[in-house]
Amino acid sequence: AQKITQTQPGMFVQEKEAVTLDCTYDTSDPSYGLFWYKQPSSGEMIFLIYQGSYDQQNATEGRYSLNFQKARKSANLVISASQLGDSAMYFCAMRPYSSASKIIFGSGTRLSIRP
């Protein structure tokens, strides 16, 4: 079965601290993409970062980095120096090649940044 698991329903972090949001995935496809999306309270779905299954290096985009551990099937999102504006729902998602017509989403982690 193709599945994304996010085990942290909610997290509280102090401003300026780094935070890691956990994500594990399950697929038998050798080719797949992994992404993270941010959904603030306003509702839009904002693309943050992408990692391809064949990429040798971990993806980084500004303060976001994706800790990709293929053997463990994990794709954790790391946010460095968190800001108040980072408070939102975060979704891990996957797109296996064999079913690329559908994006598979995790249940999300609600991140709250404390001032």
Strands 74-79, 104-105: pairing kind:
unpaired
Contact flag: residue 35 with another protein (CB under 8 A)? yes
Q: Which stretch binds another protein (CB under 8 A): 14-22, 47-55, 63-71, 78-86?
A: 47-55
Q: Which of 25, 86, 92, 96 binds another protein (CB under 8 A)?
A: 96
Q: Do 25 and 34 form a contact (C-beta atoms < 8 A)?
A: yes
Residue type, 70: K
Nearer to another protein, 74 or 105 (CB): 105
Q: Which stretch binds another protein (CB under 8 A): 16-24, 67-75, 80-88, 94-102?
A: 94-102
Diameter over CA atoms, the chain? 44
CA distance 33 to 53: 6
Q: Which of 17, 102, 112, 114 binds another protein (CB under 8 A)?
A: 102
Q: Which of 8, 67, 78, 103 binds another protein (CB under 8 A)?
A: 103
Q: Which of 23, 65, 87, 95 binds another protein (CB under 8 A)?
A: 95
Q: Do 94 and 2 form a contact (C-beta atoms < 8 A)?
A: yes
CA distance 71 to 52: 14
